[in-house]
Each structure stands twice: as C-alpha cells, then as structure tokens.
Amino acid sequence: MSDEAIWDELDWRMQDGSGERLNRGRIIERNLARLRGFVCETMRHGRLCIAGDAAHIVPPSVAKGLNLAVGDARVMAEAFRRCIQSGDTSVLEAYTAICLRRIWPTVHWSCSMSEAFPRLSWPVRL
C-alpha cells in the first residue's frame, strides 16, 4: 500500500462522525507482525528453568504475554525459595507442569481470538 492508501484506510477506520481527520505525515517504518503461538514443552532442565517469551510466545493481539511471564516468575520464585530454605525440590520438579496448566489454555485462547478478530471486529468497507 502507498502511504496515502494507508492514511486513507486509517482515516476511514477512525471516523467517529465528527468530520475530523487525522494529521498525516511520512510513514517512517513498515513491519509485518508475525502472529504465532509457540510453547517449549519442557521449561526446566535440572536446576535450569526458562520463563516468559523464552518458553512461550502468544500472539500479541490479546495481550497475555507479560501476564504469562509474570506467572512463570512467581512459580519459579516459590520453587527457588523452597529449594534454598528447606531443600524441598517438589515445586522445582513440578515447575513445567504447573506453568503449562496455565500456558496452554492461554495460548489456545490467544490463537483463537487472533483468528476471530479480523472477521468479527474489523469494519468492512462496502
């Protein structure tokens, strides 16, 4: 699309009935965001754990990546705390299973919503 075509499309999508138009400028960067879901099926090797985007990628369209990363960090912190304080490795050993219970449904939901959004919510120019 030319710069003008992009601005025309954006203007059309942003119209709110007020007649106001967007201020146009030169478009300085163009990118295609890869929408994808990825899960690393083990998140632990011995005492090495991975968390967040290193372990799983969700499409950004439903804004769940950071939530998943923080969730992993909480489980990891508890695993380390128990390990260091009392030598209890049960949470460390269960780290992958605990995290994946939360991750897989979120990945499925994010992927489903990403497929549905363009069909359901984008206005269609007739």
Ligand X SMILES: Cc1cc2nc3c(=O)[nH]c(=O)nc-3n(C[C@H](O)[C@H](O)[C@H](O)COP(=O)(O)OP(=O)(O)OC[C@H]3O[C@@H](n4cnc5c(N)ncnc54)[C@H](O)[C@@H]3O)c2cc1C
Q: Under the rule (CB under 6 A), what is the footprint of ligand X?
A: 52-54, 60, 63-67, 69
Residue 50 is given by DSSP the state -
| Cβ 55 to ligand X shortest distance, Å | 8
Output b/e per residue, 86-109; b: 16+ Cβ within 10 A.
eeeeebbeebbebbbeebeebbee
> What is the residue whose two structure tokens read 């992958």?
96
Residue 37 or 60: the one with the smaller Cβ distance to ligand X is 60
Would you say 21 or 108 has its CB closer to ligand X?
A: 108
| Least distance to ligand X, CB of residue 17, Å | 28
Of 44 and 64, nearer to ligand X (C-beta) is 64
Q: How far is the CB of 73 from ligand X (least distance, A)?
A: 8
Nearer to ligand X, 55 or 92 (CB): 55
Which residue lies nearest ligand X, judged by its C-beta?
52
Q: Are 96 and 76 contacting, i.e. CB atoms less than 8 angstroms apart?
A: no
In the block, tokens 């508890």 appear at: 78
Hey, CA dihedral for 77, 83, 85, 91, is it positive or negative?
A: positive
